[in-house]
Structure 1
Amino acid sequence: MWDFWTVLLLFLFAVFLILYNFSTAFHYYFRISFFYFTVLLHGMEVCVTMIPSWLGGKGADYVFHSFYYWCKWTGIHTTVYNYEITQVDGPAVVICNHQSSLDIISMASIWPKHCAVMMKRILAYVPFFNLGAYFSGTIFIDRYNRERAMASVDYCASELKNRNLKLWVFPEGTRNRDGGFIPFKKGAFNIAVRAQIPIIPVVFSDYRTFYSKPGKYFKNDGEVVIRALEPISTKGLTLDDVNELSDKCRDLMLAAYREVTAEAWKRTAERRGETVSGKKIE
């Protein structure tokens, strides 16, 4: 005879299976919660395991290389073009479009050699995450304080050259879930110009075929196409050229975004046995 608790656990498990398989919202909340739990566990792990990488001055290399394997369960498949561009030696500023927290998975697929990240200062107070970020050489900035932000530009420029690091920046400054790109902020371009180092644009395809926070879905057959573009030199440029440089990078990335998104949507349709959607790519 089964006891009460065994019956209750079996009942709850049956309810879970039904909701997980038939409720899109429940499926979304469970998967995204487990994703954040994965991030937390990984953050705890790298607080110890990435110390050798930190001592070697390799930035966040170990963090993202290991995270790639931690997130295999998500079912997100990535296709990377021009990976070798991001792996060249020497300092650079890597810029990329920003869609969601799932960008971490895409980043792990093309993470540049000897690269660090720039983050909002408030993230420096998140337990475990902050220690892992410190070992990753993360540069925290106060975007709401102009004086401190400008000081960060000079600090970043000197650090990248002195430590021979690349810096990963999301120039949109915030997540854009609606497709296309929102206007770029100038911080990344100011840093590249001050340091006279190249900019390497990286483009992720649109996630909306498999993930949407507003739509409350997170499917397990994600397809992301990633492309690194040719480096853009900043030699001889001054801060007066930043606006034009920003617009040039954005135009190149937007054109590539449309191409990689069309490919990702086609790959997704083929995996699902569907016809390719005629939906306009913004």
Structure 2
Amino acid sequence: MFGEMGLLVYTAILMVLITIVYKFSSIARYYLKFIFFGVASVIMASAPIPLMLIKPRDSRNGLIPAAGIRMACRLIGVKTSLEGHEHIVRNSGCVILINHQSMLDLLVLAELWPAMDNCTVIAKKEILYIQPFALAAWLWGTIFIDRVKKEDAQAAVNKTGRTIRTRKARVLMFPEGTRNQKEKLLPFKKGAFHLAIASRSPIQPVVVNRYRFLGKHRFDNGHIRVKILPPIATDGYSADNIQELIDKTYKVISENVDLISKEEDDKMKKD
């Protein structure tokens, strides 16, 4: 009995200390929020696995994890909004390109997943070692590629192109290839554009405002605004003039990231 009481007392003291540190230390708040986000994301993604097993590889398996991730983020002070539903490609599959800033971009995917049918993502094969998250990701249709072996990666891209055409799938990708919180977007990699051209599907640009609430050892409350832009046709493009398509898409995404970030900055100043 004493041992149980002692454990309860120690737990209570620990919770009080964590609460105090969380309130008064921005560094502690930064790490605690990210730890909570990471743990919550894995739990929310993995808990519905028994339900996902009923219909494996179905994109709708991602709806419950997406809802759970959105809920978890509200608990750490991150709110989201999604606009531009009228621009969603309806009559075909597409390649959705999003600017990439942080692991919090998982929340962006959680916003887009229920708004668009037949969503999927491409992930590096190493994620398969992160269980049970990897199993959940496979069950909702993630396409895993081996980036070391180019022939395997190309085969996966070709398969994805066929999936886009036959199932009208929507592949969500980050064309910068790595996280970037600077004011200027990184150059776009060609993979997503080769995929769009090969599948003869449009590009659906999606922009997210810059995470001003996030900085070095700083994680404040904030708002993630996600905006779906009009699609960009890929007709007339090939490997020979792919750079023109890349430049056109880069310009559209870059200008709109600047625009919505400024709008959010102005709103914060007024508030």
Is TM-score (shorter-chain normalized) higher than 0.5?
A: yes
User: Greater shift after overlay, 140-149 or 101-110?
Assistant: 140-149
1:257 shift after superposition: 0.4
Q: Match of 2:219? A: 218
Q: Match of 2:37? A: 35
Q: Residues of 1 paired with 2:194 and 2:149: CA distance?
A: 16
Match of 2:148 among 134, 144, 147: 144
Asked if 1:160 corresponds to 2:164, the answer is yes
Query: 1:115–1:89: structure 2 CA closer, same or farther, 3 Å change rule?
Result: farther
SS in 2 for 1:239: coil
SS in 2 for 1:124: helix
Query: 1:41–1:174: structure 2 CA closer, same or farther, 3 Å change rule?
Result: same
CA deviation profile, 1:18-42 (whole Å, cap 9, x unmatched): 2111111111111110111101111
Query: 1:86–1:74: structure 2 CA closer, same or farther, 3 Å change rule?
Result: farther
SS in 2 for 1:71: helix
Q: Residues of 1 paired with 2:233 and 2:217: CA distance?
A: 41
Q: CA RMSD in A?
A: 2.3
User: Greater shift after overlay, 90-99 or 14-23?
Assistant: 14-23
Query: 1:54–1:83: structure 2 CA closer, same or farther, 3 Å change rule?
Result: farther
CA deviation profile, 1:247-277 (whole Å, cap 9, x unmatched): 110111000000111122233344xx4xxxx
Q: Match of 1:278? A: none
Q: Match of 1:101? A: 103
Q: Residues of 1 paired with 2:136 and 2:56: CA distance?
A: 10
Query: 1:45–1:89: structure 2 CA closer, same or farther, 3 Å change rule?
Result: farther
Q: Match of 1:72? A: 74
Q: Residues of 2 paired with 1:236 and 1:61: CA distance?
A: 35
User: Greater shift after overlay, 247-256 or 66-75?
Assistant: 66-75
Query: 1:63–1:114: structure 2 CA closer, same or farther, 3 Å change rule?
Result: farther
Query: 1:239–1:133: structure 2 CA closer, same or farther, 3 Å change rule?
Result: same
SS in 1 for 2:263: helix
Query: What is the TM-score when the length of structure 1 is the normalising length?
Result: 0.85
Unmatched tracts of structure 1, length 5 or more: 274-282
User: Greater shift after overlay, 32-41 or 158-167?
Assistant: 158-167
SS in 1 for 2:47: helix
Query: What is the TM-score when the length of structure 2 is the normalising length?
Result: 0.88
1:201 shift after superposition: 0.5
1:156 shift after superposition: 1.2
Query: 1:199–1:155: structure 2 CA closer, same or farther, 3 Å change rule?
Result: same
One-letter identity of the residue aligned with 1:39: S
Query: 1:127–1:13: structure 2 CA closer, same or farther, 3 Å change rule?
Result: closer
CA deviation profile, 1:42-88 (whole Å, cap 9, x unmatched): 12213223345647564744542443234331222223221232362
User: Greater shift after overlay, 180-189 or 50-59?
Assistant: 50-59
Query: 1:170–1:57: structure 2 CA closer, same or farther, 3 Å change rule?
Result: closer
Q: Match of 1:127? A: 131
- Is the Cα–Cα contact under 8 Å of residues 176 and 187 in structure 2 kept in the other structure? yes
Identity %, equivalent residues: 29
Q: Match of 2:245? A: 245
- Is the Cα–Cα contact under 8 Å of residues 89 and 113 in structure 1 kept in the other structure? no
1:168 shift after superposition: 0.4
The number of residue pairs the alignment matches comes to 266
- Is the Cα–Cα contact under 8 Å of residues 61 and 113 in structure 1 kept in the other structure? no
Q: Residues of 2 paired with 1:44 and 1:61: CA distance?
A: 12
User: Greater shift after overlay, 53-62 or 38-47?
Assistant: 53-62
Q: Match of 1:280? A: none
Query: 1:60–1:18: structure 2 CA closer, same or farther, 3 Å change rule?
Result: closer
Unmatched tracts of structure 2, length 5 or more: none
1:143 shift after superposition: 2.7
- Is the Cα–Cα contact under 8 Å of residues 89 and 231 in structure 2 kept in the other structure? no
Query: 1:97–1:15: structure 2 CA closer, same or farther, 3 Å change rule?
Result: same
